[in-house]
Amino acid sequence: MALNNDKKDIAVRLRWAREQAGLSQGQVAQRMAMHRPTISQIEAGERNVRIDEIDRLAELYGVSRDWLVDGDKVLPGERDPRIQMAARELGKLKGADLDAILRLIQVLRDNGGEK
């Protein structure tokens, strides 16, 4: 089964998830037993992605298959993979840097967040 609907949207989410996972296309290709140009084609929306590949990529990137396929419309806020990825990255920060990020978050919330 290949995924054809919203191929470009899926491609964008795949690239974003890979980058957030801190992996290069070459690393993903190696772990997926694919060629690097294949990963590039997938992320450019030039190649259909089979559902079994989506499942493996979701696991590798630490995101859900539903998010890769359908985006935010299927995820409640607390299951949003962007939040999970942000939390992982925040966990890597040292004290002063973490405090600065928390102050920034407070300023964004005080200013109304997303508009």
Residue 54 lies in a domain: yes
Domain count of the fold of the chain: 1
Q: For the domain that residue 79 is a member of, what is the CATH number?
A: 1.10.260.40
Residue 106 lies in a domain: yes
Q: How far is CA 26 from the centre of its chain?
A: 17
Question: Measuring CA to CA, which residue among 86, 30, 34 is closest to residue 63?
Answer: 86
What average pLDDT does range 65-71 have in this prediction? Answer: 86
Query: What is the pTM (predicted TM-score) of this model?
Result: 0.63
Range(s) of the domain holding residue 77:
2-110
* Cβ atoms of 29 and 35 closer than 8 Å: yes
Confidence of residue 15 (pLDDT cuts 50, 70, 90): very high
Residue predicted with more confidence, 25 or 93: 25
* Cβ atoms of 47 and 38 closer than 8 Å: yes
Least confident of 13-27, 50-64, 90-104: 90-104
Residue 115 lies in a domain: no
Burial track 22-45 (b if 16+ CB lie within 10 A, e otherwise): ebebeebbeeeebeeebbebbbeb
Residue 102 lies in a domain: yes
DSSP secondary structure letter of residue 111:
T
